[in-house]
Amino acid sequence: MLWQLTQMFWVGGLWLLHLGLLPALGQIGLAPLLIEEISLWLSALLVGLSAACVVLQALVLIQSEGLRSLWRDVRGQLLLMAMYACGMYFTVRMLLPEAQRWQLFSYLILGFSGLVLVLQPAPGWDRRVRQAHP
């Protein structure tokens, strides 16, 4: 349950910001500079939340499947990719604040790795199905 809850927060939040909130702010007539400022602030906040949720999901995966699952399992590889994208986002944000395309690239890597992760079964779920149907 914790796996799905954290996944909903970070993957849903990332995509909701760019597919729902920012276009809605543009539709109601806010100034483009104001929308850009809101986008920069909320993006950083959501990437930080995503980093915390990804670490929590990695701990759930390690507890359920073992430490090796981080690099052998698709879910672990996607979580490592998401951690890397979070780190890259904040590194670029601090060292090269004018490189907004690199920040967007990191954000997109984080978002797409989250979408692929949503398609994977939760840790322990596939084992329960096998036990129920021998």
Residue 129 CA neighbour count, 13 Å, CB half: 6
Measured CA to CA, the distance from residue 32 to residue 38 in angstroms comes to 10
| pLDDT at residue 59 is higher than 70 | yes
Which phi and psi (to 5°) does residue 122 adopt? -65, 150
Q: Which residues contact 65 (CB under 8 A, 6 or more apart)?
A: 73, 76, 123, 124
pLDDT digits (tens, 9 = 90+) for 68-127: 988 899 999 999 999 999 999 999 999 998 998 999 999 999 999 999 999 999 887 665
pLDDT digits (tens, 9 = 90+) for 34-58: 999 999 899 999 999 999 999 999 9
Contact 47, 90 (CB under 8 A): yes
All structural domains of the chain with their residue ranges: 2-126
